[in-house]
Copies of this chain bind each other. A is one copy, B any other.
Amino acid sequence: MYSEDEIRVEQLGECRYESPLTPLLDYRQYSINYVEESDRILVDNTVSSLSDELQSGRALTGLEPAGARRKIFFDPATTRAGIVTCGGLCPGLNNVIRSLVNEFTRRYQIQSVFGFCNGYQGLVSASERPPVELTPDSVKDIHEHGGTILGSSRGQQNPSEIVDRLLEMEINILMVIGGDGTIRGAMAIAEEVSKRQLEISVIGVPKTIDNDIMFTDQSFGFQTAIAEGTSAVRAAHVEACGAPQGVGLVKLMGRHSGFIACYASLAVNDANFVLIPEVPFELDGEHGLLACLKQRLRQSGNAVIVVAEGAGQHLMQRVNQTDASGNQRLGDVGVWLKSEIERHFAENDWCLNLKYIDPSYVIRSVPANPYDSVYCSRLAHNAVHAAMSGRTKMVVSRWHTRFVHVPMSLAIRERNCVDPNGDLWMTVLESTGQPPRFG
Q: Which A residues form the contact surface with B (CB < 8 A)?
A: 22, 24-25, 27-28, 30-33, 36, 38-42, 45-48, 50-51, 54, 60-62, 65, 67-68, 89, 102-103, 106-107, 118, 121, 128-129, 141, 143-149, 151-153, 217, 223, 226-227, 229-232, 234-236, 238-239, 241-244, 246, 248, 263-264, 266-269, 287, 301, 353, 355-359, 361-362, 364-366, 369-371, 373-374, 377-378, 381, 400-403, 421-427, 429-431, 433-437
10 contacts between A and B (CB under 8 A): A89-B239, A151-B246, A153-B353, A235-B362, A248-B361, A263-B371, A267-B370, A268-B370, A357-B362, A378-B424
Q: Say yes or no: A361-B243 contact (C-beta < 8 A), given A223-B223, A263-B370, A301-B129.
A: no
Q: Shortest CB–CB separation between residue A402 and chain B, in angstroms?
A: 7
Q: Quick check: A42 and B47 within 8 Å, CB to CB?
A: yes
Q: Quick check: A45 and B423 within 8 Å, CB to CB?
A: no
Interchain CA distance A362-B38 in the complex, whole Å:
45
> Copies per complex?
4
Q: Say yes or no: A377-B266 contact (C-beta < 8 A), given A244-B128, A362-B231, A437-B30.
A: yes
Q: Quick check: A371 and B227 within 8 Å, CB to CB?
A: yes
The interface residues of chain B lying within 8 Å CB-to-CB of A241 are 147, 149, 151
The interface residues of chain B lying within 8 Å CB-to-CB of A267 are 370-371, 373-374
The interface residues of chain B lying within 8 Å CB-to-CB of A65 are 46
- CB < 8 Å neighbour of A39 from B47, B145, B235, B371: B47
The interface residues of chain B lying within 8 Å CB-to-CB of A229 are 370
The interface residues of chain B lying within 8 Å CB-to-CB of A269 are 143, 377
Which of A36, A244, A366 neighbours the largest number of chain B CB atoms within 10 Å of its CB? A244
The interface residues of chain B lying within 8 Å CB-to-CB of A403 are 423
